[in-house]
Chain A
Amino acid sequence: GIQVEQSPPDLILQEGANSTLRCNFSDSVNNLQWFHQNPWGQLINLFYIPSGTKQNGRLSATTVATERYSLLYISSSQTTDSGVYFCAAVYGGATNKLIFGTGTLLAVQP
Chain B
Amino acid sequence: DVKVTQSSRYLVKRTGEKVFLECVQDMDHENMFWYRQDPGLGLRLIYFSYDVKMKEKGDIPEGYSVSREKKERFSLILESASTNQTSMYLCASSLIDTQYFGPGTRLTVL
Spell out A's residues near B (CB within 8 Å): 31, 33, 35, 40-45, 48, 86, 88, 90, 94-98, 100-103
B58 to A42, Cβ gap below 8 A?
Answer: no
B40 to A41, Cβ gap below 8 A?
Answer: no
**Interface of chain B, helix or strand or loop or mixed?**
strand
Which of B31, B42, B97 is A100 in contact with, Cβ under 8 Å?
A: B42
| In the complex, number of A-B residue pairs with CB atoms less than 8 Å apart | 55
Query: Cβ of B48: which chain A residues have Cβ within 8 Å of it?
Result: 95, 97
A33 to B94, CA, bound (A): 13
B99 to A42, Cβ gap below 8 A?
Answer: no
B90 to A101, Cβ gap below 8 A?
Answer: no
Query: Cβ of A101: which chain B residues have Cβ within 8 Å of it?
Result: 42
Query: Cβ of B103: which chain A residues have Cβ within 8 Å of it?
Result: 40-42
Q: Which residue of A lies closest to B104 (CB)?
A: A41
